[in-house]
Amino acid sequence: MTYDPERPRNTFCGRTRREFLWEAGGAFTSVALAGMLSTDDFLGAQTVAADGVTAWKNPLAAKPPHFDGPAKAVIFLFMYGGPSQVDTFDYKPDLYPLDGKTIEINTKGRGGTRNQGRVVGPKWRFKQYGECGKWVSDLFPHLGGCVDDIAFIHSMTADAPLHGSAMLQMNSGRILSGSPALGSWVNYGLGTENENLPGFVVMLDPTGGPISGAKNWSSGYMPASYQGTVIRSSGTPILSLDPPPGMSRQAQRRLLDRLREYNEEHAQPRSENSELAARIASYELAYRMQQHAPEAVELSGESEETRRLYGLDQDRTKEFGRRCLLARRLVERGVRFIQVYSGGNHNDHNWDAHGDLVKNHEYHAGGTDRPIAGLLRDLKQRGLLDSTLVIWGGEFGRQPTAEYAEGTGRDHNAYGFTMWMAGGGIKGGASVGETDELGNRAEVDRFHVKNLHATVLQQLGLDPNALSYFHAGLDQKLVGVEGAEPIHQIVA
Amino acid sequence: MPATAQSGRSAAGTGLFLLTLVSAVASGQTAQTPADGIKLFEENVRPVLEKNCYMCHSDPERAENGFLLTTRAGLLRGGERGPAISTSEPALSLLLHAVGYDDEQLQMPPSGRLAEADLEVIRQWVLLGAPFGGDEDELTEVAPAEDAFEITDADRAWWSVRPLGRPDVPAVADPDWPLNPIDNFLLARIEAAGLEPPPTADRRTLIRRASYDLTGLPPTLEEVEAFEQDRRPDAWERLIDRLLASPHYGERWGRHWLDLVRYAETDGYERDRKKPSAWRYRDWVIGALNADMPYDEFLTHQLAGDELDNPTAASVIATGYLRLGIWDDEPTDTELAQYDDLDSVLDTTSRVMLGMSIGCARCHNHRGDPIPQTDYYRMLSFFRGIAPYKVGGGNEPTPENYTDWIPADLGTADAGGPPEEGPPANLIEVLRVKELGPEAPPTHVLIRGNPHAPAERVEPGFPLILGNADTGLESPGPDSPTTGRRLALARWIAGDGNLRTSRVMANRLWQYHFGRGLSPTPNDLGRFGQEATHPELLDWLATEFTARDWSLKSMHRLLMTSRAYRMSSRPPENALQVDPGNDLFSRFNMRRLAAEEIRDSVLAATGTLNLEIGGPSVYPPMPAEVLATASQPDKAWGEATPDEAARRSIYIHVKRSLLHPLLESLDLADTDSTCPVRFTTTQPTQALMMLNGDFMSEQARALTARIDGPDGTVEDRVTEALEAVLARRADPVEVARGVGLIEELQREEGFEADAAFASYSLLLLNLNEFVYLD
């Protein structure tokens, strides 16, 4: 007997699929079916909710934006731990000669509040790049070549100079745990364009997740449909994606066909309950995910040139490069929001350079510079950069002064730091905001994490001050009840 | 609040505008006329304001903080912090303080400090009395904008606030249908809609419904058949009594309560530290419910079990309730974090026990309900005596504030006096509340909820809309370890006079039995919630609840012996058209099992479930992929013996940053805020875990091993497996289908017999029939 494992047998208790749906009283709904059968106009017209009246919507079905936004997808390159702005993109020539000198300066970080400190001069030279003449440190020779596509925000501020709360704020807008992540909001607002893959994907560092783990991609008070799914860049990409040992795809198809027979028989006298049909469909979707997800993370079809572009040919960059390349592949396949972590675990496994700044930043910048530049170039050459918003930054920055009596380590700094964005309708070659002459505090055009989030939503065509979710008696918003303006100066 | 701001606030209009000008001149400013001031405004000040301030402070409808910078009256009125300029001491004006960036809490504009030249211009202008030109320049005082608060007749008439009467039981056309008054209330509405109620469900459906409802566990085939064959007239009542007497009742209903109080065993945030002995609180909840502790006592012990006249170890453990929330052990702003913690306690308490969103009034008067901001702080002050996790700076919390070693027999008849010598041997570690002493720190209304902007001082008091009864608070003696405030709060919340508490819990009881509350928003019976579909029934139940001395088990019996509870879930004729949302309860609501029920049922079906009750939480194996999401994968989770791994789901360690993936995907309650109704999502990731996960593979093998009989035919084994999983007799078509799959897998896919059977076992555990209740 020949058996096509990709083709579910349309038994439907001996009826055609259409008859089955019709008998289901037009009350046939599902998370999956809307997408699975979306070419079927008949179904489109018949899809109603459990009450038999209300038009039913898949929570993750693609939704129209509030207005036309240039961006369709987001890649958030999260530099966990907090990169130092004065050593990367915020050029402060006056700081070099102060190296080693103790000065009056107000700082607040892990080590508490201080009013003086020993300056650690920037440890790298800066060079000008591109037509915009942007000063970039020697940590990023490859990214330097991309500055004309990048808008730098040098005056970022956040509410907390400590990882736990700052991570939550950068990811969810609030320092208190329990709110949905940025990626959840985006999927809530726009849905996903490919129901065979999760709409909100997170890729972690091999050393581990960031602190607070899954809280950083939690859907908080929203349903679990909007939470981030961790995709691994090697091995099985999604938890429980692989059938158990010994279960071939074809064998699983057989199992699923029988399961469906039982379930359809069970559903038949309960046709008003659309959840039953939804659950039947979710197994088909899972089955298709098993096929599509490995394909999405399979890099063998990528050319040598592409692999080199992302640094897959070098030990130092291949790990992060792989995740960047995957991010591009996921964008191509309609995934809405992708977060890629540089750094994991604690201390020097990420950008948290409390001890040896040079060693720490050489390591992390060295592992990411070429892959990120490769990602920007690749997106551009494929015509994807215009519709893909790329964000770079950590949960905060670092102080211009030393944390300890000895050494070059810098403490956290939430009162002034740099992030950048590229693509997705962002003005290339722009720089907005300024910190003081020491790079310590944002002084000119200060922006808050909320403004960054508002910009992301706006570029996706969502009004940050209108996108709301009713919870606990309030129309909750990512940018908080008081709202926030996008950073207009960096929008093309 | 800094002195300058204070003087700005308290500035009383003591002079005329001209006098102000004179004083400015006298204080050494360049001699200027009013005309110079107006010129300065037009030429230099207005452009600065337009560029930097008017985005937020020019539209009378939407001005940030209510503060308008477009008129002199706006400056005099100011925002929530009071007048922005002082006519008596212009140099101390709040406006100058804000633009001067002297104060971390008030820096305007927020986008960055103005240029020095702009600041100087504004300073000069304010010293000249801030003239705009025009009539208003003569003003010296403007009444502050009141966030007007008044309780209206409409507020008092709101359905959940109205006095709790004892509604008449309505008459019905079919007097034979009702078995108790609940049925009259429902049937009257069903009849009025022109519908007929559905028939009673069959006995297998009923025993499955009742077993899951009261214990969260499936009945066995033997139990189903015994019930089917029980012809005694009170077979149903006997079944309910048996289930209510089961120790697993407390596990099921305890889980409902744990959802409400956002139970978790860690603090969250960077270290996500374990809350010591939190599991004792979980066990206390289970035990109290099993013992049918009256609900008023149940609440009182959680709020103030330590303040009782004779606290026991159990009542002290109950106060762990006040220590379940998230806590950042290195807050940026310690004072704010302490208020956030108290807010979480007050918000949870008011939503869970009172069905009220008092938390909405933290920053301003409630936008929907008659709850002024002062009510929030008066209620908050009941908790102000609580010792914070940490006082002052540093990264480590102070364990003595929230844990304790107490005698296990504290307050019981067995408790002996202090030991003759040496420490008592029976001390147990508990998570508990502690207070700072007999005096609580003062509580102030906080402007915009900001702890660094205190306003008027308030004393403990109950919400105005709920009667504002006397708190009965007296000063405790100087040696008292606590203020007694929480006990006063508990006595009011759980007092017989508090109709709100019984209404809220009656609604929850209905919700958990019937699938949806009479009000579908059980944590908010106010204007942001949804009105009850059957307010009279709810009131009737609420009065019944207090009349039955707050006995939950008595209420379960009442609700479950109604005919309504026994209705079929099959919609009768026209019901879907007339009552599409089932607002009339014109049929029973089908439901998917909750996350814990699904996992526990799998274990039960395969014969591996370990029904041990209570004790420290367990750590069933966590997939490596999930551990990899933790910041320290090798330290993130513990280990369990196979026996421990087969415990009921309520005993799995609840770590805020690392939840059990199968349970989480099946819509586990959020751990960070109170969860009154769980979501039921349907997602492919659930299917992946149910088909491919290690746990499910193991369970399928366990079921295979359980069924394994050397002599049985494949038909026999398939029949036995079907019956074990579904607790009903299998029909031949179903058996043939199973045999067909097993043979197909062996023949076409080369499976060994056991592997083929295990695949079929896996299929059974994925059936909709297995995870849905009629």
Q: What is the pLDDT of residue B62?
A: 72
Mean pLDDT of A168-173: 97
Q: Does A106 touch chain B (CB under 8 A)?
A: no
**Residue B268 backbone zone (phi > 0: left; psi -120 to 50: alpha; other: beta):** left
Say if residue A353's pLDDT is above 60.
yes
Give the chain B residue whose CA is nearest to the CA of A278.
Answer: B682
Mean pLDDT of B617-625: 94
Interchain proximity A230–B629, CB inside 8 Å: yes
Out of A1, A270, A289, closest to residue B688 by CB: A289
Residues 225-244 of A with CB under 8 A from B: 225, 229-230, 232, 236, 238-244
* Chain B positions in Cβ-Cβ contact with residue A51 (cut-off 8 Å): 576, 580-582
Residue range B541-550: average pLDDT?
95
Who's near B360: CB < 8 A, 6+ residues apart?
A472, A473, A474, B366, B367, B368, B369, B371, B528
Question: Which positions in chain A touch B691 (Cβ < 8 Å)?
Answer: 240, 243, 252, 283, 286
The last residue of one of the domains, among B493, B520, B555, is B493
pLDDT above 70: percentage of residues in chain A: 88
Residue carrying structure tokens 């014109």: B586
Range of the domain at B14: 3-138
> Closest to B332 (Cβ–Cβ): which among A159, A248, A267?
A159
Lowest mean pLDDT: which of A225-234, A385-394, B212-221, B548-557?
A: A225-234
Amino acid found at B176: D
What is the rounded average pLDDT of the residues B764-772?
98
Q: What are the structural domains of chain A?
A: 13-58+252-290 (no CATH), 73-237+296-490 (3.40.720)
**Contact status, residue A154 vs residue A134, Cβ threshold 8 Å:** no
* Mean pLDDT across A19-28: 31
User: What residues in A contact B677, CB-CB < 8 Å?
Assistant: none
Where residue A270 falls among pLDDT bands split at 50, 70, 90? Answer: very high
A200, A255, A475: which to substitute to probe chain B, counting the most B Cβ within 10 Å?
A255
> How far apart (Å, rounded) are the C-alpha atoms in residues B738 and B767?
13
CA dist., res. B577 & res. B278, Å (int) = 49
Name every chain A residue with its beta carbon within 8 A of the beta carbon of B681.
31, 59, 223-225
Residue B109 preceded by cis peptide, ω within 30: yes
- Residue closest to A213 by CA, chosen among B102, B350, B267, B268: B268
Q: Which residues of B touch A266 (CB under 8 A)?
A: 767-769, 772
Judged against a pLDDT cut of 60, whether residue B519 lies above it is answered with yes
Band of residue A190 on the pLDDT scale cut at 50, 70, 90: very high
Contact A385, A423 (CB under 8 A): yes
Q: For residue B354, what are its two tokens? A: 């009172």
Q: Which of B8-12, B218-222, B708-712 has the lowest mean pLDDT?
A: B8-12
Q: How many CB atoms lie within 10 A of CB A9?
A: 14
Average pLDDT over residues A342-362: 95
What residues pair up with B429 in beta bridges, in sequence order?
B405
Distance CA B624, CA B601 (A): 25
Pairing of strands B454-458, A229-230: unpaired
Query: Domain for residue B726, yes or no?
Result: yes
Please tell me the distance from the alpha carbon of residue B362 to that of residue B375, in angstroms, as a whole number.
9
Average pLDDT over residues B532-552: 96
Helices B499-514 and B334-354: angle between axes, nearest 10 degrees: 80
From A48, which residue of chain B is nearest by alpha-carbon distance?
Answer: B580
Residue B3 has pLDDT above 50, yes or no: no
- B657 → closest Cβ in A161, A215, A275: A215
Instruction: Provide the pLDDT for residue B189.
Output: 97
Q: Residue A382 — very low, low, confident or very high, per pLDDT cuts 50/70/90?
A: very high
- Residues of chain B with Cβ-Cβ distance to A474 below 8 Å are 360, 528
Q: Would the CB atoms of A285 and B672 count as touching at under 8 Å? A: no
Give the closest residue to B402 by CA, choosing from B213, B494, B273. B273
CA distance A327 to chain B (A): 18
DSSP for B474-495, written as a single string: -PPPTT-SS-SHHHHHHHHHTS
3-state DSSP call for residue B406?
strand
Question: Distance between CA A475 and CA A467 in Å, rounded?
Answer: 9
Rounded-to-integer distance, Cα A74 and Cα B324, Å: 36
Cα-only R_g, chain A: 25
For the purposes of burial, counting CB atoms within 10 Å of the CB of A4, is it exposed (0-12), middle (13-18) or buried (19 or more)?
exposed
Cβ pair A217, A202 in contact under 8 A: yes
B637 within 8 A of B732, measured Cβ to Cβ:
no
Enumerate the residues of chain B whose CB falls inside 8 A of the CB of residue A252.
691
pLDDT the model gives residue B395: 62
- Which of these three, B108, B138, B168, is where a domain ends? B138
Of A59, A177, A344, nearest to B672 by CB-CB distance is A177
Q: Using CB atoms, which residue from B270, B331, B748 is nearest to A212?
A: B270
Q: What secondary structure letter does DSSP report for A157?
A: E
A102: contact with B, CB 8 A cutoff: no
Confidence at residue A30, expressed as pLDDT on a 0 to 100 scale: 31
Quote the number of domains for chain B: 3
Please give the structure tokens belonging to residue A14.
Answer: 């001996």
Task: State whether A254 and B360 contact (CB < 8 Å).
Answer: no
Name the closest residue on chain A to residue B583, using Cα atoms.
A51
Structure tokens at A174: 């609030």
Q: Which member of A278, A344, A446 has the closest CB to residue B111? A: A446
| Chain B residues with CB-CB distance to A261 below 8 A | 737
CB atoms within 10 A of CB B534: 21
**Which pairing describes strands B443-446 and A442-444: parallel, antiparallel, or unpaired?**
unpaired
Subunit contact A162:B686, Cβ cutoff 8 A: no
Average pLDDT over chain B reads 90
Q: Is residue B554 part of a domain?
A: no
For B466-476, what is the mean pLDDT?
Answer: 89
Handedness of CA B227, B228, B232, B237 (dihedral sign): positive
* Number of C-beta neighbours around residue B36 at 10 A: 15
Residue B501 to residue B271: CA distance in whole angstroms: 37
* pLDDT over threshold 50, residue B10: no
CA distance A266 to chain B (A): 7
Identity (one letter) of the amino acid at B694? D
Of A345, A490, A326, A370, which is closest to residue A421 (Cα–Cα)?
A: A490
Cross-chain residue pair A241–B692, CB shorter than 8 Å: yes
The per-residue pLDDT for A86 is 98
pLDDT at A272: 84
Does A204 reach chain B within 8 Å, measured CB to CB? Answer: yes
The CA–CA distances, whole Å, from A324 to A217, B13, B630 equal 18, 64, 21
| CB burial of residue B177 (10 Å; 0-12, 13-18, 19+) | middle
C-alpha A3/C-alpha A14 separation (Å) is: 19
Please report whether residue B360 resides in a domain: yes
Spatial distance between the Cα atoms of B563 and B560, rounded to a whole number of angstroms: 8
Which of A279, A285, A347, A434 is the best substitution to test chain B (most B C-beta atoms within 10 A)?
A279
pLDDT attached to residue B59: 82
| pLDDT value of residue B679 | 85
What is the structure's pLDDT at B19?
38
User: Within chain A, what is the greatest distance between any pair of CA atoms?
Assistant: 84
Contact B328 A175 (CB under 8 A): yes
Which of A31, A266, A474 faces B360 most closely, judged by CB atoms? Answer: A474
pLDDT digits (tens, 9 = 90+) for A136-153: 999 999 999 999 999 999
CB nearest to A212's CB, from B269, B347, B571: B269
**Cβ pair A277, A30 in contact under 8 A:** yes
Contacts of A36 in chain B (CB under 8 A): none
Q: Which residue has the tokens 């089932």?
A: B582
Q: Is residue B150 part of a domain?
A: no
**pLDDT for the residue numbered B51:** 86
Query: Nearest-CA distance from A43 to chain B in Å?
Result: 19
Residue B296 and residue B491: Cα distance in Å, rounded? 9
- pLDDT at residue B300 above 50? yes
Q: Which amino acid is at B7?
A: S
- pLDDT for the residue A445: 93
Beta carbons of B688 and A241 less than 8 Å apart: yes
Residue-wise pLDDT for B674-694, tens only, equals 999 998 888 888 999 999 999
Q: Give the range among B85-89, B319-323, B376-380 with minimum mean pLDDT.
A: B85-89
Shortest Cα distance, chain A CAs vs residue B39, angstroms: 28
Q: Which of A473, A483, A469, A489 is nearest to A223 (CA)?
A: A469
Range of weakest confidence among A26-30, B358-362, B460-464, B627-631: A26-30
Task: Give, in degrees to the nearest 5, the angle at Cα B535 between B533 and B541.
Answer: 115
- Establish if B256 belongs to a structural domain: no
Does the beta carbon of A221 lie under 8 angstroms from any beta carbon of chain B?
yes
Domain stop point among B138, B171, B188: B138
Which residues in chain A have their CB less than 8 angstroms from residue B267's CB?
none
pTM, full prediction = 0.85
Q: How far, rounded to the nearest angstrom, does the alpha carbon of residue B330 sit from its chain's CA centroid?
A: 24
Instruction: Give the amino acid at B542.
Output: A
Q: Is the pLDDT of residue A375 over 80?
A: yes
Contacts with A289 from chain B: Cβ below 8 Å: 684, 688
Per-residue confidence (pLDDT) for residue A49, from 0 to 100:
32
What's CA B463's distance to the chain center, in Å?
19
Q: Say if residues B740 and A258 touch (Cβ distance below 8 Å).
A: yes
Look at residue B425 in the predicted model and tell me its pLDDT. Answer: 67
Q: Which residue has the tokens 């374990």?
A: B274
A224 with B667: Cβ contact below 8 A: yes
Other beta carbons within 10 angstroms of residue B655's beta carbon come to: 23
Confidence of residue A34 (pLDDT cuts 50, 70, 90): very low
Structure tokens at A457: 């939503």
On the question of pLDDT at B26 being above 90, the answer is: no
Please tell me the predicted confidence (pLDDT) of residue B499.
Answer: 83
**A188 near A468, Cβ under 8 Å?**
no
Cα A143 to Cα A88, A139, A372, A435, B80: the distances in Å are 11, 9, 7, 22, 47
Q: Which of A110, A229, A244 is nearest residue B692 as measured by Cβ atoms?
A: A244
Give percent helix, percent strand, percent coil of chain A, each to the nearest 5. Answer: 35, 20, 45
Confirm if B513 and B252 have CB atoms less than 8 A apart: no
As a whole number of angstroms, the distance between CA A108 and CA A166 comes to: 13
Closest Cα to residue B72, out of B93, B101, B100?
B93
- The SS3 assignment for B307 reads coil
CB-based contact A357:A84 (threshold 8 Å): yes
CB contact under 8 A, A254 and B766: no
Q: Mean pLDDT across the stretch A343-358?
A: 95
Amino acid symbol at B771: V
N-to-C CA span, chain A = 60
Place of tokens 């004083």: B23
Cβ-contact B84, B108 below 8 angstroms: no
Q: Looking at the domain assignment, is residue B317 inside a domain?
A: yes
Q: Is A220 on the interface with B (CB under 8 A)?
A: yes
- Which residues have a Cβ under 8 Å from the Cβ of B103 and sit 6 or more positions away? B2, B5, B97
Q: How many CB pairs under 8 A join A and B?
A: 269
Confidence of residue B334 (pLDDT cuts 50, 70, 90): confident
A179 pLDDT more than 90: yes
Count of CB atoms situated within 10 Å of the CB of B107: 17
Q: Is A441 on the interface with B (CB under 8 A)?
A: no
From the CA of A50, how many Å to the nearest CA of chain B?
Answer: 8
**pLDDT reported for residue A56:** 36
Contact B326 A442 (CB under 8 A): no
Cα of A20 to nearest chain B Cα, Å = 17
Kindly determine whether residue B629 and residue A345, on different chains, have CB atoms separated by under 8 Å. no
User: Residue A116, Cβ neighbours under 10 Å: how many?
Assistant: 11
Q: Indicate the angle between helix axes B295-304 and B278-290, nearest 10 degrees.
A: 160
Put simply, the answer to whether A208 touches B630 (Cβ < 8 Å) is yes
C-beta atoms of A212 and B272 within 8 A:
yes
